[in-house]
Chains A and B, each alone.
Chain A
């Protein structure tokens, strides 16, 4: 059985009077793909933003279990969370468009290279230690370029890549930092069916080869049902279902959230009165 990687407990996020997330708890495990789904505006991206430190949650505990102990993400700065091993991608792709594909992947290994260059002081004189570290970083970037099929485009500006390739590059960039948990915000958005299938294969290989946990927000059900080990369903900021794909698919709450109430559900009395009087 795989062990817990991220434990979310009673996560609540309020923006003024608006409750974006209301008391959500779930567990993401190592070597598993956990999908967060839900209708538009259900609060999925807000959960991500809380996890990665872009928002400070109003209430809740986010325990991130590293091999050397647990960290409480709700207390940490966003870049410290990233350093601790939570990588993310964005719904609207955020590459460094005027830098090349390879440079994007090298920037992702910033902290290790920064130490190797002795915070620039050794690097300025081109010491061997730094040159070795950089060669290593390039080698790692190359293996990721091979995985996502972008070796030939390595020296292109990232902004000139086609859309699907930008999505893959963003995942490769997130993985270059050796994360323990990879958070993907709608990685299949805008991809054609073939690209979606390739994405499924990529995510499965990442999970199996690196033994990390993947947290996924997705609308594309072929991706969600095809690769998720575990699904959390949100609606209006509340968790309405949680379990393996087959169970979630049959869950009445989930069907209602996606397809709406059944016909037989009673209408609010004032609406019923309006209809009776022929005003609607």
Chain B
């Protein structure tokens, strides 16, 4: 740092930066001269070439300038300037986390009745809450137990198809099917868990990835049961104590608006769905917060930290891992059943690897093991792209850029702070 201030070092630095930027521009030129510089056009009488060397020059100039700026430390300066407010915001967030949580809960409960809350807003909020719930479920497996699961969407699919089939085949209601869907998903969680007990890290990730694909491909090909690529349609909508949300209820039933003596409004069902997923998500959150303070949750975290030490302390690693898989899968199954009843139609297309990746990204960006982090990350990854719908073409670009920036400045996720599950001394100061 001191050496940088001397004139000689400064000029040397400039020379080196210029040389480096020149080289980068040269590499760019080599790459682009054919790819961008020559465009093939389907003209009359065959393929003709269209030359765009001005574009190549613009690109090379941009690379030169960017590389020069990065070399001279402009990138660091911008990084520092941005990192400070972000870090400060996160710090303030940790300090007032309790108040913020209650405020957020109050907002979530009142949101559908606010003036700006039209059907679209409530729908987006519901979609976000599905991802929050999935994130919280996956957080148990990845964040607490440290088992990298890339096939989480499989359990989501199992829950969704279980609900659809039970509801259509046996005429069971949503609330009767919910535990069944959860149980089915948990069973699949254990089924996946058994073969991967000895695997960890990358190997586990690959096998779970494969498992997710197996489920999806079975759904596509087992035509007689799952309807194949056509999926299942006409899935029963949710009811409130058996009362449907329809304008003209079937014979012998009362619909909700008749029961309450209010005018029919299609938004009632949307709002009801919103509250159902809010309640389900809060159940998951309550469970996880409690479980963290129980021997089971502590064993999950201990397993993430050091499996060999766990064995030396008499913790049964098989049971601990399977319970994490089963519980995580069960919550995924609940979310799947909800998804099924909300859409009224499901097909294997809704359960691609991309969904797993998004849920995992939510968990990782939020900060492994952090409950609030998942909510923030779900907001960033689900709602923010929705807000920028006009820039549809650049959404994925911004998505990737955001991920890269977060990983540079907060490599352990937005909320990396871990609250101890038990304390001997009351917390003091900043809770160190």
Interface residues of A (CB under 8 A from B): 52-54, 78-80, 82-83, 87-88, 90, 94-100, 102-103, 106-108, 110-111, 113-114, 117, 119-120, 123-124, 126, 130, 134, 138, 141-142, 145, 151, 154-156, 173-174, 177
Contacts and interface: CB of A to CB of B under 8 A. Distances in A.
- Which 9 pairs of residues, A with B, have the shortest CB-CB distance? A82-B314, A154-B424, A96-B305, A113-B295, A94-B309, A83-B314, A123-B294, A78-B311, A120-B296
A96 B144 CA distance: 13
B317 A154 contact: no
Contacts of A95: 305-306, 309
Interface stretch (B42-50, B91-99, B165-173, B414-422): B414-422
Nearest to A94: B309
B316 A79 contact: yes
A119 B294 CA distance: 9
Contacts, number: 124
Contacts of A78: 311-312
22 contacts: A54-B311, A79-B316, A82-B312, A87-B313, A95-B305, A97-B305, A98-B418, A99-B301, A102-B420, A102-B423, A103-B422, A110-B313, A114-B296, A119-B296, A123-B294, A124-B291, A124-B294, A151-B424, A154-B423, A173-B313, A177-B313, A177-B314
A155 B425 contact: yes
B420 A103 contact: yes
B36 interface: no
A124 B306 contact: no
A123 B290 contact: yes
B315 A120 contact: no
B182 to A, nearest CB: 15
Contacts of B308: 54, 90, 94
A107 B296 contact: no
A111 B314 contact: yes
A155 B431 CA distance: 9
A155 B291 contact: no
Interface of B: 287, 290-291, 294-296, 298-299, 301-302, 305-306, 308-317, 323, 418, 420-425, 427, 432
A114 B323 CA distance: 13
Contact of B315 (A52, A106, A110, A119): A110
A113 B299 CA distance: 11
Contacts of A155: 420, 423-425, 427
A100 B421 CA distance: 9
B44 to A, nearest CB: 68
Contacts of A154: 423-425
B311 A96 contact: no
A108 B313 contact: yes
A79 B311 contact: yes
Nearest to B298: A107
Given A106-B295, A108-B313, 6 more contacts: A79-B314, A107-B313, A114-B296, A124-B287, A142-B424, A155-B427
Contacts of B421: 103
A220 B93 CA distance: 49
Nearest to B308: A94
Question: Most chain-B Cβ atoms within 10 A of its Cβ — which of A79, A83, A90, A113?
Answer: A79
Question: Most chain-A Cβ atoms within 10 A of its Cβ — which of B295, B317, B418, B432?
Answer: B295
Given A90-B309, A99-B305, A124-B287, A117 B420 contact: no
Given A79-B315, A106-B422, A117 B309 contact: no
B291 A120 contact: yes
Contact of B302 (A82, A83, A107, A141): A107
B299 A110 contact: yes
B57 to A, nearest CB: 51
A138 B295 contact: no
Contact of A110 (B290, B298, B424, B425): B298
A119 B320 CA distance: 11
Contacts of B290: 123-124, 126
Contacts of B309: 90, 94-96
A132 B432 CA distance: 27
Contacts of B317: 79
A138 B306 contact: no
A66 B7 CA distance: 78
Contacts of A53: 311
A117 B294 contact: yes
A173 B315 CA distance: 13
A88 to B, nearest CB: 5
A176 to B, nearest CB: 9
A106 B301 CA distance: 12
B305 A138 contact: no
B295 A123 contact: yes
Contact of A114 (B295, B305, B306, B423): B295
B286 to A, nearest CB: 9
B294 A100 contact: no
B298 A106 contact: yes
Contacts of A145: 424
B302 to A, nearest CB: 5
A243 to B, nearest CB: 29
Contacts of A80: 314
B292 to A, nearest CB: 10
Contacts of B301: 96, 98-99, 103
Nearest to A82: B314
Question: Most chain-A Cβ atoms within 10 A of its Cβ — which of B323, B421, B427?
Answer: B421
A126 B323 CA distance: 19
A234 to B, nearest CB: 22
A247 to B, nearest CB: 32
Contacts of B302: 96, 99, 107, 110
Nearest to A170: B309
A126 B293 CA distance: 10
Contacts of A130: 294
A22 B301 CA distance: 39
A107 to B, nearest CB: 5
Given A99-B302, A138-B424, A107 B312 contact: no
